[in-house]
C-alpha cells in the first residue's frame, strides 16, 4: 500500500464516522447500518435490530437471515 492509498482510506473512514460513528463498533452490523437501520447486534445470540436508525425505545432483534434481507434492500 502506498501513501496515496492510505490517504483515500482515511478520508472514507472519516466520512463514515461522521455519518454513523457507531459503525466502528463490534456490536453494529455494518451492512444493515448502511441500509439506514439501527443494526445493533445482540452479541450472545447474533440477532440484529432492523428498526430505523436512532429509533425510539428498545431494539427489536431479528435473526441473521432476516437482517441479510434488510441489508440487501
- The whole-number pLDDT of residue 16 equals 47
Joined together, the cell numbers standing for residue 55 give 429509533
Considering the domain boundaries, does residue 71 fall inside one?
yes
Joined together, the cell numbers standing for residue 8 give 483515500
Considering the domain boundaries, does residue 63 fall inside one?
yes
Considering the domain boundaries, does residue 57 fall inside one?
yes
Mean pLDDT of all residues belonging to the chain:
81
Report CA-CA distances (Å) from 66 to 29, 37, 40, 51. Answer: 13, 13, 14, 12
- The whole-number pLDDT of residue 55 equals 97
- The whole-number pLDDT of residue 50 equals 98
Domain of residue 52: give its range.
25-73
Residue 73 pLDDT greater than 70, yes or no: yes
Report the chain's C-alpha Rg in angstroms.
14
- The whole-number pLDDT of residue 18 equals 56
Considering the domain boundaries, does residue 38 fall inside one?
yes
Considering the domain boundaries, does residue 30 fall inside one?
yes
Q: pLDDT tens across 58-69, in order?
A: 999 999 999 999
Total domains present in the chain: 1
- The whole-number pLDDT of residue 9 equals 39
Considering the domain boundaries, does residue 13 fall inside one?
no
Considering the domain boundaries, does residue 66 fall inside one?
yes
Amino acid at each position: 500500500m502506498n501513501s496515496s492509498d492510505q490517504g483515500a482510506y482515511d478520508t472514507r473512514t472519516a466520512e463514515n464516522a461522521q455519518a454513523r460513528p457507531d459503525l466502528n463498533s463490534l456490536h453494529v452490523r455494518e451492512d444493515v447500518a448502511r441500509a439506514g437501520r439501527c443494526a445493533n447486534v445482540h452479541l450472545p445470540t447474533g440477532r440484529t435490530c432492523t428498526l430505523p436508525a436512532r429509533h425510539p425505545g428498545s431494539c427489536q432483534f431479528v435473526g441473521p437471515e432476516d437482517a441479510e434481507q434488510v441489508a440487501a434492500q
